[in-house]
Amino acid sequence: MPRHEARTVLLRNGTVHSPADPFATAMVVERGGVAWVGSEGAADSFADGVDEVVDLDGALVTPAFTDAHVHTTATGLALTGLDLTGVPTLADALARVRAHAAARPADRVLLGHGWDASAWPEHRPPSRRELDEATGGRPLYLTRADVHSAVVTTALIDLVPAVSGLPGHVLDAPLTGDAHHAVRAAAYAGLTPGQRAEAQTAALDRAASLGIGSLHECAGPQISGTEDLTALLALAAGRPGPRVVGYWAEAVASANDASRIRELGAIGAAGDLFVDGSLGSHTACLHEPYADGPHAGHTGTAHLDAAAVAAHVTACTEAGLQAGFHAIGDAALTAVVEGVRAAAETLGLARVRAARHRVEHAEMLTPEHIAAFAELALTASVQPAFDAAWGGDDALYAQRLGVDRARTLNPYAALLRAGVPLALGSDSPVTPLDPWGTVRAAAFHRTPEHRISVRAAFTAHTRGGWRAIGRDDAGVLVPGAPADYAVWESGDLVVQVPDHRVASWSTDPRSGTPGLPDLTPGTPLPVCLRTVVGGRTVYTAHGRPNE
């Protein structure tokens, strides 16, 4: 299926967010690309030569968002199935499990997501015995909100007889590490092709309805499997919807490894190649121990050291393949920067910088880490909704680390000041697909010194995702760029600088800086009216067009 629409379309009588003309009200799209951006008066000269004229009726047109870190199948399963996000108590969670099991009698394995015992009055996850009772003894895989640990039923454990001998298996406690990966593989193996396609379709449709034009699928052998990735890429290529860019998180040691990853359709051996785990599951790797409960005195889990990082980056760079890692804790980030620097010493700094290797999450950054990211041209693929959900002095990060260390997390302003490329995403289903909410979370970070302007956050969530895959010509509405855009009902437009520490020169109208919606917390977020990818409409608020 062609990725672009051959028709020529004039959009007019609105506001077009474009650096080509900060006061633009009209745009021409031709053969899947932006052909012209300009004023209403100049639009008259195009009106007779186009196939369609769209009256925007005052609506805002922006580049479509790119979500730079997604797990599409898991997102769709949460959308169509058992989602415990925001469930207030353990008893409520068990009631949801019971109802879901009753509603899905034909499923070979029940799957669910989103529990967070740190927010429950019981302060504990469901036990295996409780889940066995709630499911009637059926296999169930139920991931914590961060997807780095899971609770399961006895029937699922029985499908993986060796799991009790794997690291991360503790009787009647959430599974982590290798034990978790083993039961996840068994659970996903229980999905039929129809269930997988249903989930992937639901996730792609949801993304399109939110003005998301591209998704970076972060797949890997410890996450979803090759069949899941190849099926997703084929589905996305064969129907109108968001573009899907695939990453496969497996270490590369040879040219054959790199070729195999390319054959899967992935553009990089990156995404969730785990250097550590997560803070919520006490598996992020730290220099200093956790502060809370039975994990006090422990420093998390290290999956890769600096030597392994260096070997992977070296092999990927030599193969012309993008490398990347999942790293959250400060010790994990130290391993990454030391490993990438070692690769640069072997290959030359210019070659490593040119490859645009990336780091997912990158939460516990020190000033030294930030300087190294800038030196090595590492893209920080980050999720501001993490701070919105778990930041602040009385939430999960402070519980795990103590208030002082928690306040250092997700330092977006410092990253931008250092010139580190940012790409924003959701890590859905860890946090929901919600692009304007993501921009708001970055601009109104719970730690004021880490806030960035709405404009900077918006750029990181549009153009930043394209730059992260090596495309500098996209994610912005200028002539020659792909016509990936969204139309919004947005209210008044402003140039918003939420914190006085952020430069405010651009708020002066004389600067000609294009406005964006007011994202002050508590105000309604923009509503997507239409999403277009490659000039092809993939969503309208009135339903999918027959194309």
DSSP 447-495: SGGG---HHHHHHHHTHHHHHHTT-SS-SS-STTSB--EEEEE--SEE-
Residues 169 and 110 in one domain: yes
Q: Which residue has the tokens 């304007």?
A: 436
- Domain assignment present for 352: no
Q: Could you give the residue ranges of the DSSP H alpha helices within 32-89?
A: 40-43, 72-80
For residues 99 and 139, state if they share a domain.
yes
For residues 46 and 79, state if they share a domain: no
Q: Which of 260, 169, 195 is nearest to 221 (CA)?
A: 260
Residue 357 inside a domain? The answer is no
How many structural domains does the chain have?
2
Whether residue 514 contacts residue 20, with contact meaning beta carbons closer than 8 Å, is answered with: no
Asked if 77 and 131 sit in the same domain, the reply is: yes
Q: What single-letter amino acid sits at 60?
A: L
Same domain assignment for residues 59 and 74: no
In-domain check, residue 295? no
At residue 355, the pLDDT reads 97
Is 142 a domain residue?
A: yes
- Bridge-based pairing of strands 493-494 and 26-30 is unpaired
Tell me, yes or no, whether 118 and 168 share the same domain: yes
**One domain for residues 74 and 55:** no
What pLDDT sits at residue 190? 84
Give the span between the Cα atoms of 299 and 70, in whole angstroms. Answer: 27
Q: Is residue 48 classed exposed, middle or buried when 0-12, 13-18 and 19+ CB atoms within 10 A define those classes?
A: exposed
What was the pLDDT predicted at 3?
A: 62
Same-domain status, 149 and 167: yes
Q: The domain containing residue 29 runs over which residues?
A: 8-63+476-490+526-540
CA–CA separation, 122 vs 225, rounded Å?
35
CA–CA separation, 291 vs 297, rounded Å?
A: 7
One domain for residues 138 and 29: no
Q: Residue 192: what pLDDT?
A: 86
Q: 371 and 418 in contact (C-beta within 8 Å)?
A: yes
The confidence score (pLDDT) of residue 1 equals 43
Q: Tell whether 116 and 82 lie within a shared domain.
A: yes
Is residue 546 a part of any domain in this protein? no
Roughly how many angstroms between the first and final C-alpha of the chain, as a whole number? 11
CA distances (Å), 391 to each of 231, 407, 410, 415, 457, in order? 36, 8, 9, 18, 18
* Residues 120 and 171 placed together within one structural domain of the fold: yes
Q: Which of 128, 160, 189 corresponds to the end of one domain?
A: 189
> CATH number of the domain that 44 lies in?
2.30.40.10
* Tokens encoding 29: 């799209």
389: left (phi over 0), alpha (psi -120 to 50) or beta: alpha
Asked if residue 222 is part of any domain, the answer here is no
In a domain, 95, yes or no: yes
CATH, residue 101: 3.10.310.70
Q: What is the mean pLDDT of each run of 10 residues along the chain (547 residues)?
A: 74 95 95 95 91 96 98 93 92 96 91 90 93 96 90 93 88 88 87 91 98 98 92 97 98 94 97 96 96 86 97 97 98 98 98 98 98 98 97 95 97 98 97 97 97 97 98 96 97 77 49 84 97 97 53
End of a domain among 160, 189, 218?
A: 189
Do 100 and 44 belong together in one domain? no
CA distances from 298 to 177, 401, 402 (A): 15, 11, 14
Query: Which of the listed residues 141, 167, 189 is the one where a domain comes to its end?
Result: 189
Does residue 98 fall inside a structural domain? yes
At how many degrees (to 10) do helices 128-135 and 90-103 cross? 40
pLDDT given at position 547: 37
Q: What is the pTM of this model?
A: 0.91
